[in-house]
Amino acid sequence: MADEHHYRFHVKMACGACSAAIERVLSKLEGVSKYETALETQTVDVYTTQPYETVLEKIKKTGKEVISGNEVH
């Protein structure tokens, strides 16, 4: 089994529909065990076996601006 990663992205989200769009794509992404979107802090935490670039591209496909992202250790 591949190692699980914890990524944190800073994403511009204006409303609940924004975070719901991100949650929708993450829920369909294979290898994601858990995700948390926080509208108040504009952050998205993703726990997955997928590479960083794959998760980043999925979030970008929602049309939301990803300001930054990194792997949390």
CATH number of the structural domain spanning residue 53: 3.30.70.100
Query: Which domain, by its residues, includes 32?
Result: 5-71
- Those residues with Cβ within 8 angstroms of residue 68's Cβ, 6 or more apart along the chain or in another chain: 9, 10
pLDDT in tens, 1-59: 579 999 999 999 999 999 999 999 999 999 999 999 999 999 999 999 999 999 999 99
Q: Residue 54: its pLDDT value, please?
A: 97
| Helix axis angle, 16-28 to 52-60, nearest 10° | 140
| Domain count along the chain | 1
